[in-house]
Amino acid sequence: MSEPVKKEILQRAKNILDEYLNDQGLRKTSERYAVLEEIYRLPQDEHIDVESLFLKMRNNEYTISRATVYNSIDLLVDCGLVVKHNFKDKNALYEPALTYEHHDHLVCNSCLKIKEFLDPDIENIKKRVGKSLGSAINLHSLVFYGDCTITNCENLERKKVGSEA
């Protein structure tokens, strides 16, 4: 995604947050906007947990509390600006919603790497199931779990080293 497009999306996200905070009678704090910006600066296909986000922000010299990051993330999920994923054996992970094109996930049991994919056959199944059940399905969540078969997987090696300690 090009830098001008990212800036445009971030500005749109800020406008949505402004409107949501106004509607809810909530304060517009710099910390809420900082959390929003950090989430929207993530590389595409990256997911982050709240603790990692907090540490990243502290390393970038933000003065923000852990509780503020947690509360801000919840608020961003509530207003539709952040998508929350709950994968097996993992903390909740988050990604920006405005850059979110629906996709499914494969989580490796061995190295814990998350891969995103989009398969038109799954979309066709969703339509077929919706039609047969008389429902217009507009959202689904699909996560596959498998074992890493990547030769020399760096994540698998890190996991082995960590478990030997």
Q: From 50, 82, 100, give the residue that closes a domain.
A: 100
Distance CA 164, CA 31 (A): 39
Residues 40 and 81 reside in one and the same domain = yes
pLDDT of residue 86: 84
Has 123 been labeled as part of a binding site?
yes
Residues 62 and 95 reside in one and the same domain = yes
Has 61 been labeled as part of a binding site?
no
Q: Flag whether pLDDT at 116 surpasses 80.
A: no
Residues 39 and 57 reside in one and the same domain = yes
Q: Express each pLDDT in 6-20 by its tens digit.
A: 888 899 999 999 999
Q: Tell me if the pTM is above 0.75.
A: no
Residues 122 and 157 reside in one and the same domain = yes
Q: DSSP characters for 30-84?
A: HHHHHHHHHHHTSPTT--B-HHHHHHHHHHTT----HHHHHHHHHHHHHTTSEEE
Residues 144 and 91 reside in one and the same domain = no
Q: Which residue range is the domain that position 78 belongs to?
A: 1-100
Q: From 58, 81, 100, give the residue that closes a domain.
A: 100
Closest CA to 146 of 117, 118, 105: 105
Has 79 been labeled as part of a binding site?
no
Q: Flag whether pLDDT at 133 surpasses 70.
A: yes
Q: Express each pLDDT in 45-88 by its tens digit.
A: 788 999 999 999 999 889 999 999 999 999 999 999 998 888 77
* Tokens matching residue 135: 């429902």
Q: Flag whether pLDDT at 158 surpasses 60.
A: no
Give the total number of structural domains in the chain: 2
Closest CA to 67 of 7, 75, 59, 162: 75
Question: Looking up tokens 């929003």, which residue turns up?
Answer: 36
Residues 165 and 153 reside in one and the same domain = yes
Has 148 been labeled as part of a binding site?
yes
Residues 21 and 52 reside in one and the same domain = yes
Q: Which residues pair with 93 in a beta bridge?
A: 85
Distance CA 47, CA 150 (A): 21
Mean pLDDT of 33-41: 94
